[in-house]
Each structure stands twice: as C-alpha cells, then as structure tokens.
Structure 1
C-alpha cells in the first residue's frame, strides 16, 4: 500500500490525536495511531480505551485501501517539524514496516496489525441527540471546566453536566464551593435527558472546536457519548451516577446588588490576594455607600492589604468573605465588561452574572462565602 498527503495536514491531525493517548497504557497498541486508507481518504484514530478520537484527511494519491497501526511518538516527532511538502507512506504489511519519504530523505518505522486495536463502544438505539453550535459549546466548556472537582469520593462532580429539559439545555459544573450554570434556551427537549461529560474529552473538545460556526452533534445513552464536529469524532465513556440538584443551591432572592467593572475588580483582587493567608486565601468584601473595599490579611507574616473601588450598589452595608483565588477564576471566565454580584447575607451564596446576557442564554456563577471574624 502506498499513499501521499500534505505533511502539515498530517502533522496537525496527529498533534490533535496525540492528546488522547496516555503515557502509560494497559494495551501496548493503545500507544499507536491507526491509519486506514479508504477511497483516497486517510482515516486516523487514537484511543486511551475510554476515549476514542477519529479524524480524516484527503490524500493526494493512493494505490489501494488498507489499514495499519504505527507508534505515535517517533512518527509525531518526525513529522512535526516538516515544512509544507508531500510525504509518502509505503507500507509492507508482510514485513510489518512502513517507509516514509519526503523531499530530503526518508525513515522507516515498524507497523502493527490494526485489527488488534480496540473498537469504539456502540451507542444504543434509544440514544438522545443534541445539536449545538460549535462556538456555543466551546464557550460553555471554556467557562465551566474550571469549576469541576477532582474528587475520588464523588466522581460525578469531576465532569460537566449537560441537563436537557423542556425549557432549555443547562450546562453545569461545580466542585461544591463554586458553581457555573448556563441555560441555552434554543435547545430543549420534551423528553428530559442528561449526561456527565468527563474532563478529558471536554478538554479535547475545547481545543478542537472552531469558532467560525458549524454545528456539533452529540449522541448519548446511559454509558457513552459520540460527539461529531467538523471533520472529527470523539467517542467517550460517560461518568455514571446522579448529579447533585444544582437548582436547590442557587438562591432566588439576593436583594443586595453590586454593579462593577469586571476587569477593574479582577485587577484589584490580583493585587490584594497575595497578602491573604495561604491556607484560607480569604478576602473580605465590604460594600457601603457605593464603595467596595477589599481586605486581605496574614497576621502570621505581618501582611495586610486594602483596596477601595467605586461601584453601583443597592442594598444594606455588608461584609462578606470569599476565597480570593476562586473569585479570580470566576471573573476570568466572563466576557462582559461589567458584572453584577447579588448577595443576601454573609452566610449565603453570592451570585455573579454578566451585566448583559448572551443571546438565548442565561449565564450564572455561584460562589460560597467563607466565615469572617468581625
């Protein structure tokens, strides 16, 4: 079997696929890329046994169909530095060797039988389908993945929750201290359905999805999901279990409301946070008469910091404590220039919202307070 294709096209596909492969694998062949030539198209596959990624690239020429597996590391390192040029594979499957030729040289690598490569899990016939714009899905993963947990005792918290209801599609992430919930109103279903997407395929999608339009189709059943985007597919095993009732922790009436410049508040927090106690990272927010005062202190090392900034405030004077690093993460994952902070009292969760919601969406982030000593 012999085929030729663009070196840069091959390199970009292999770099993306390589992010699926683990450094240590239960099966040696999971360290390989699978190449399958069919009707002048090269289909490429990589897997870690729980996640499988497939993509394709058009060939310049090919003389036959066939498939083989080849080790990822040496091939990726060899083609990564090529300038744009034709690259030709000549595969001798009797001798289990592939000769790869380019303008100024060639190299050879061993190949393996691709039939030994694990197959993707089949999606059942009663699967649910969601069609979502790639830029919307990319933005939602970007703005929620930071809030997922790393909790061995509660694995359901370690992924992004997709909750399809008759009203909307809600995309949720929480670690128990902070929560992100975005409602997308132009996606809904009369039959409720949900799944928890693990962090690894979510991260892969975040890096792969284009911002220039196009739709992503997600088919899922109780155990697996198949996500089709552009010229690729990710098949992954879902996290099983019941996700916490996220609606129950979102307060419905927080009468004290701050409107403030997000970038200015983010900059102020970054200046004040280094002076907070390392173990608690507590920053006190005191709001009164249109002024927000941020205080951080670490008396063990005789460090304190205070910064004041103007804001629009309706409500009673209040002091409330938040974890500085978590609040910085929340502010960093908004796009709007101004944000609204809704507060009830120092013991109840605070809500952070953009001053203007994206079209057909309702974005909300929640932050649990910390105890402060007055």
Structure 2
C-alpha cells in the first residue's frame, strides 16, 4: 500500500494496487463511502505557480499557493476598478498580518510555517539572494526563457521541475527524495514526444534545448544527472503532463462563497447578489476567464486515481490552497475503484470522440470506461465545440 502525506481521513480506508494491465495502478476503497464523504486529503509533493500567472500580479504563497491578495485587492485588479469597495469585508479570509517573505529575495508566503517548510525543503537552493532578482541569475534566465517560449495558458511550469530538483539537492536522504518522484507513471519514448509536443506546441518543439544550459548552471544535481539532458527534460515534462494536477486559488471566490452563506434580509440579499453579478461582468470584460492564482502540482495518491468519464469521486481544494481533497460523488462500495475525471466540466460533456482526443493528447491513453464503452458505436465525429474551433483555425 502506498504511503502518502494524507492530512485528514484515514489512509487505512483506501489502498493503491494494480487495477489491470491496461490502467496500471488504481486507488480502491477498503470500506464504504457515502456521497459527499471526503475519501482522503493530501498535500502535494511539490507545487508551483505558473510564471505568466505570477507575472500578471496573481499573488500566491510560494509554498502552498494560497492567494495572498485580499478579496478587495483581487477584485480591483481583475476589474481594473481601483475605487471598488467590497461590502461585508468580514467575508474575506486573507490574513495579511500573517504574511511573511524571504529576507533575501522577498519570495512571499502566507505564514511563517509555509516559509519555514519551503526553506527546509527547497528554497535555500532556489533563493536568488536579492530583490528584484538579478536578470543574469541562471534561475532568472530560466524563467525568462520559459515565459518567452510558452505563452498563456500555461500547461506546465519550469519552476515545478526546479522545485523537484531543489528538493533532491536539499534532501538529507537524496535516494528517498528521488524515490518520491520515481513512483509516477512513466510514458514511453514515443509517448513522451507526443506529450511534450502537446505541452509546448509544435513551434516550440526544438526550443526546449534552450532551457538546458541554464537548468544545468542553476541546479545541476549528479543524483539525477539524466534529468539534465534533452531526453531527460522531455521526460520530466511528460511526467508532469501525465501526472500533474492543476491548482487554482482565489481569495475572491472564498469571499463570494462566504457572502452566499450570510443570513440577510430579502432586500440586502438582492442588493448583494446584483453587486456580485455586476462585479463578475466587469471582471469578464477586463480579465476574461483568468480569475485564479493558477499552477500545477504532483500528488502521491491523487496521481494514482484513474480517469472515468462517469467518475464516482472528484478533486476539490476546500482550503483554497494546494492541499487536495478527493470527495465521493456517489456511494462507493468496499473494493470499488475510486475514479476521478481528468476532463474539465465542459469537456466531459463532449462527444466520445472529442473526449478520447483530449485524453490521448494530454494523458496518453484511450478511455475504456462504462460511458465510453456504451458509446463505442457512435460516429467518430467531434462535438460542435470542436468543429467550431476547427473552422476558426482554418479561417
């Protein structure tokens, strides 16, 4: 049974074992779970904010990705309305007085605990020693090259790889640290080319080698010397592509959720709802759909959960940080496999052909879940959304 950094729930209630030859490992229930039960909670082995997200002033804790702006600050930035005042400020949970930063590079954290954990695990290696960072520092160059070769929306982060390496460099037992990353599903050589192509785009396929000199200069670690080659870095991007989980945090969404829970009279409720509706209209006009502090993370247990187009569980982030909860969407019986959806809310409603296309390009497998089997005789045509995108691309 796989051990993990489970923060609540009992690890004895689930186990990781081989699901079948096709899927490999899976997570199985060792007891019955009711709908809405939290099956397990887990902190990431490593997580990192997307560089473009950070560049555009989405302020997040460098260790746990908790949003550092107050709800009002975030709303003002996203809407570009500097005079905006949010009602019911008590609904904002951000505690600015608890925020701390690295005294050298000014990397920000939501708490002293996060700062201490980061320093212990990886930040001593990644600290660039001054603020603003010297643009000639190898890590600063690494970030600049990545931003210029992988524009938004990002699908991976070079800093996730940097933190993986830094954790190994700082680890008292480097073999144990390497083992933490060796557990993840590996793609074949051909599959790695496919997933790297998807992550970086065809026009950037050759540019990945530009990262290597700066990665070597900044973070060279003999324990994982094979990572510092062209094939090695592609393998790391493939690992992230096939195992990574997107993370999004927002102090504004927490504020709105808390506003929804307020006990208000009818008139006050109507005024508040109209205010929030208009706020999101203003935000959509200014910032589009990019509302959250966004990044990616690797988890021991969550990464073992297989996909289904009719999942019996879902991934949530109840604490507005990178700690993940897997929650039952329906009653789950003992020995039943716990499956989540790798697809977004919109994508899971698309045609079988469209779903399979997305899963092949991003996760390198063909889905054989109950829903896909029931639709196997459907015509191999994409959903209307995909057809519209194809028409736009051809124009």
Question: Shared fold (TM-score greater than 0.5)?
Answer: no
Higher relative strand content: 1
The answer to which structure, 1 or 2, has the higher relative contact order (CA under 8 A, 6+ apart) is 2
Q: Which category of TM-score, normalised to the shorter sequence, fits these structures?
A: under 0.3
Higher relative helix content: 2
Larger radius of gyration: 1
TM-score by length of 2: 0.23
TM-score by length of 1: 0.24
